[in-house]
Amino acid sequence: MAAVRADSAGGAERATLGTPDSRRRRRYSHDLIGWMFVAPAILFVLVFFGYPIVKNLTMSLQNYSTTTFFTGFAPWVGFSNYVTIFADPIFITSVINTALFTIGSIIFQFVIGLGLALFFKRHFPLSGFLRSLLLLPWLLPLIASAAVWKWILDQGSGALNQFLGIFGIAPVPWLVSPTVALISVIGVNIWLGIPFNTTILYSGLQAVPEELYEAASLDGAVGWKSFWYITWPSIRSVVGVVVVLGVVYTLKVIDIILGLTGGGPANSTQTLATLAYQKSFVQFLFGQGAAVSNLLIVVSLIFALAYLRITRKEVDE
Amino acid sequence: MRKSRINMVITGAAVFSLALGACSSGSGSGNSSGGKQNLTVEDYYIATYDPIYQDCATQVGVNVNPVHVAGAALIAKVLQQASSKTLPDVLMLDNPDVQQIAQTGALAPLSDFGVTAPAGDVPAVVTAGTYQGKLYGIAPVINSIALYYNVDMLKAAGITPPTTWDELRADAKKLSNPSNGVYGFAMSNINTYEGTWQFLPFFWTSGGDEKNIDTQGAGQAVQFVLDLQNDGSMSKSSVTWAQSDVNNQFIAGKAAMMINGPWQLPVLNATKGLNFDSVPIPTPTSSQKVVAPLGGETFNVPQTGDKTKMALAGKFVACLNSPAMQLKIAKVSGNVPADESSAATWAQSDPQVKSFVETVKTARARTAELGPKWPTAATAIYTAVQLALTGKATPAAALQQAQASNH
């Protein structure tokens, strides 16, 4: 039945079926099988990701309170939740704190992470062991870390102030003073974020071919020059990924701040994320909490889109 | 081609059934056994309360099933249950939450079951559990806060426990020893409702009002606490301490006096070498009685739709609040019976709670004025205190700023 044609590999298949109609049906059934495999995953994403986002949006336009839980009824109030939030004096403070927190965390996490990754590029005894130890902050449960750091940073009896006291430094009000509290919280978040940055950047550095360094050293480019002209351009895409993922994650950080200061002395460590939590789960004003978290989603979305553009460009290049 | 179509159908069916296989339907719990109804009681206590529930269950003629939830998670669980219509038969609520939950319509007025608060109960108990003229919950045992002091430290400094603000300020200063890290006074000024709770005795006794916190009386109270900090009598870390942290400072000997409640008595009694006692919190002038906040949990009957069970639950709540039962619960919980004469009897047998018995007589319910809107005022109060203590604003300016968000 099959007339074997010698011109192409697919020719045998095409010869067996012959007509364009059956080719189309075959592709259709092929696609359908593919869709049926993906369907449960799509359903999962729609239910557990899509529905909460839509619900959050509608909740921000309603007067959603504790009463709604019992009666199931939440009256539409349009944008009044957003107006209330924007008029709240804490809102501006939260936005500024979120910006400072994110920028401060990312810069230092990245710089220290890159420094450590470059350091571990050279293989010395115990370097593997040390690198795995470096992962510890990332592996510990955040609430436990926050509790321990809260104790370490206590002004009177904390370990850090006792240590500084040896050098004659007066006790620093780490979590008590409004200005220092934000710095402390950023510091703990940097400690938390270093493992992620180091690991990703280290694997990015491994991908840079050794020959480039050898060739460069022949031309006299060593140390800083080799970093600037060889290493940095090669890992730029990895850097983009690390920074964008870091920003999207840091915007949402809430457990560290809640554990350390709960929003800080006099709202000095209140960020958009903690404000949303405060509004929804402490004051039970779910409509306003939803409004704040929608703003946070929009900001995260902008950075996520930036991430997609960076990686897409990579593929094209 | 037919074979591939059959394959496709089988694959599709297998994948879908795998996805649906995870779903399973739950079954409702049994309702009555041996003719007796089963009542679920939900609270945030520990198993020490179970004999109490058993006692009342026998008196009312039901079987009781206690469900203990972690303290911070109770309201979240109640809201969850309200939306899934699976509320328990008897619900325990912390008294400032009663009016907010009653507003949602999830609770049944106790008058539906012919239950009223015992006549001898402290008045604040009725105010706390009433929403729009109807009583929804009654607290069998109550508590408040008082001034604990280290007997040895005060004796060494030659002072008697203070009764007025001026005395407190002077005594705290005398008892402070900054080189040793010892402070004369400790309280919790944390940015949660606990901070507000600890500040209320000062706020209310000097004339502050939660409807408008930007008043002179409130300003005096904030100024007083700020003075204690500026004198070096109170640690600057008080803005990060919860009541348990304050207790730890007192136990460690780093605070000579502290504000705390009777629930700390077991821990304090277990500490070897700690000689302590308590007096009611000092007032601005000697002729005043301290107005401290009313603590304690109420028992309520949620709207479950089952009329028979709700009636039995009403009887159960009434049983828990009978003066005889109040004494039993006081023994188990360390709190004070709500009935005034029972409380007086209780103070005789347990002298350590005398100052608390004294304080609850004039205690005030936090939700008395604002009802469900109390959380907003509570947030404003602790924000104002924190703004002043951290130096971000003067007491007057702090109250003004905080009042802006108190609506």
pLDDT digits (tens, 9 = 90+) for A185-241: 999 999 999 999 999 999 999 888 888 888 888 888 777 888 888 888 888 888 988
pLDDT of B253 reads 93
User: Considering Cα of B223, then B226, then B230, then B233, what sign does the dihedral take?
Assistant: positive
User: At a CB cut-off of 8 Å and minimum separation 6, what does A9 contact?
Assistant: none
Asked if the Cβ–Cβ distance from A33 to B239 is below 8 Å, we say no
B23 and chain A in contact, CB less than 8 A: no
A143 and chain B in contact, CB less than 8 A: no
The list of chain A residues with pLDDT below 50 reads: 1-8, 11
Q: How far is CA B144 from CA B120, B213, B279, in A?
A: 18, 22, 12
Give the strand pairing for B137-138 and B297-300: antiparallel
Nearest C-alpha neighbor of A88 from the set A303, A262, A285, A243 = A285
The SS3 call for residue B29 is: coil
Both tokens assigned to B187: 């309280």
Instruction: Find the closest chain A residue to B236 by CA distance.
Output: A176
Which residues in chain B touch residue A83, judged by CB atoms under 8 angstroms apart? none
The list of chain B residues with pLDDT below 70 reads: 1-5, 8-9, 11-34
A206 and chain B in contact, CB less than 8 A: no
Q: Are the beta carbons of A277 and A269 closer than 8 angstroms?
A: no
Nearest C-alpha neighbor of B331 from the set B385, B265, B234 = B265
The SS3 call for residue B278 is: strand
Q: Per-domain residue ranges for chain B? A: 32-142+295-361, 146-292+370-404
pLDDT of B30 reads 45
Task: Report which DSSP code applies to B158.
Answer: T
Same domain, A241 and A95: yes
Q: Which domain does A273 fall in, by range?
A: 89-316
pLDDT of A237 reads 83
Cβ pairs A/B, distance under 8 A: 115
pLDDT of A88 reads 87
Asked if the Cβ–Cβ distance from A67 to B105 is below 8 Å, we say yes
Instruction: Find the closest chain B residue to A32 by CA distance.
Output: B8
Tell whether A38 is covered by a domain.
yes
Superfamily covering domain B146-292+370-404: Periplasmic binding protein-like II (3.40.190.10)
Distance CA A260, CA A148 (A): 9
A268 and chain B in contact, CB less than 8 A: yes
pLDDT of A2 reads 46
Distance CA B84, CA A315 (A): 48
Tell whether A213 is covered by a domain.
yes
The Cα of A275 is separated from the nearest Cα of chain B by a number of Å equal to: 13
A19 and chain B in contact, CB less than 8 A: no
**Backbone torsions φ then ψ of B61, nearest 5 degrees:** 90, 40
In sequence order, the β-bridge partners of residue B366 are none
B376 and chain A in contact, CB less than 8 A: yes
Nearest C-alpha neighbor of B76 from the set A62, A282, A279 = A282
Residue of A44, A69, A270 to mutate, testing the B interface (most B Cβ within 10 Å of its Cβ):
A69
Give the strand pairing for B255-260 and B146-150: antiparallel
Both tokens assigned to A36: 């049926």
Distance CA B386, CA B18 (A): 55
Q: Which of B16, B376, B390 sits opposite A265 (nearest CB)?
A: B390
Distance CA A85, CA B131 (A): 29
Q: What's the domain count of chain A?
A: 2
Q: Which of B7, B75, B390 sits opposite A177 (nearest CB)?
A: B390
Tell whether A27 is covered by a domain.
yes
pLDDT of A23 reads 78
- Helix residue ranges per DSSP H, chain A: 11-17, 20-45, 51-60, 66-71, 80-87, 89-121, 127-133, 136-139, 142-152, 159-166, 178-206, 210-218, 224-226, 232-251, 255-260, 272-277, 286-316
Distance CA B100, CA B81 (A): 15
Tell whether A123 is covered by a domain.
yes
The Cα of B61 is separated from the nearest Cα of chain A by a number of Å equal to: 30
The distance between the two most distant Cα atoms of chain A, rounded to a whole number of Å, is 95
Asked if the Cβ–Cβ distance from B104 to A70 is below 8 Å, we say yes
Q: Which of B5, B19, B239 sits opposite A176 (nearest CB)?
A: B239
Sheet holding B255-260, edge to edge: B183-186, B255-260, B146-150, B276-279
Q: Which of B101, B192, B235 sits opposite A156 (nearest CB)?
A: B235
The answer to whether domain B32-142+295-361 and domain B146-292+370-404 are alike in fold is yes
Apex B9 CA angle, B4 and B15, nearest 5? 120
Q: How far is CA B37 from CA A134, B40, B110, B320, in A?
A: 58, 10, 20, 18
Q: Do you know the residue count of chain A?
A: 317
Asked if the Cβ–Cβ distance from A176 to B103 is below 8 Å, we say no
B83 and chain A in contact, CB less than 8 A: yes
Residue of B222, B237, B304, B385 to mutate, testing the A interface (most A Cβ within 10 Å of its Cβ):
B237
- Helix residue ranges per DSSP H, B231-350: 243-251, 265-270, 307-320, 323-333, 340-349
Residue of A21, A45, A66, A283 to mutate, testing the B interface (most B Cβ within 10 Å of its Cβ):
A66
Nearest C-alpha neighbor of A113 from the set A238, A299, A255 = A238
Asked if the Cβ–Cβ distance from B15 to A69 is below 8 Å, we say no
Would you tell me which residues 272-301 of chain A have a C-beta closer than 8 angstroms to some C-beta of chain B? 281-284
Same domain, A47 and A182: no
For tokens 């009002």, the residue is: B209
Same domain, A133 and A34: no
Distance CA B57, CA B37 (A): 10
Say what the alpha-carbon torsion angle B288, B200, B238, A92 is, to the nearest 10 degrees.
-140
Distance CA B114, CA A269 (A): 50
B105 and chain A in contact, CB less than 8 A: yes
Give the CATH number of the domain where residue A101 resides.
1.10.3720.10
Asked if the Cβ–Cβ distance from B379 to A69 is below 8 Å, we say no
Apex B194 CA angle, B94 and B401, nearest 5? 120
Same domain, A39 and A158: no
Tell whether A40 is covered by a domain.
yes
pLDDT of B24 reads 46
Asked if the Cβ–Cβ distance from A66 to B181 is below 8 Å, we say no
The SS3 call for residue A156 is: coil
Residue of B239, B245, B399 to mutate, testing the A interface (most A Cβ within 10 Å of its Cβ):
B239
The SS3 call for residue A106 is: helix
B225 and chain A in contact, CB less than 8 A: no
Burial grade of A175 (CB within 10 A; 0-12, 13-18, 19 or more): buried
Q: Which of B12, B254, B376 sits opposite A36 (nearest CB)?
A: B12
Same domain, A39 and A150: no
User: At a CB cut-off of 8 Å and minimum separation 6, what does B62 contact?
Assistant: B36, B37, B38, B39, B312, B316
Would you tell me which residues 144-203 of chain B have a C-beta closer than 8 angstroms to some C-beta of chain A? 181, 190-192
pLDDT of B72 reads 83
Q: Are the beta carbons of A283 and B375 closer than 8 angstroms?
A: yes
Tell whether A122 is covered by a domain.
yes
CA end-to-end distance (rounded Å), chain A: 47
pLDDT of B350 reads 87
In sequence order, the β-bridge partners of residue B364 are B293
- pLDDT tens digits for B179-202? 888 999 999 999 999 999 999 999
Asked if the Cβ–Cβ distance from B405 to A32 is below 8 Å, we say no
Pick the CATH number of B32-142+295-361 from 3.20.20.80, 3.10.450.40, 3.40.190.10, 3.20.20.150: 3.40.190.10
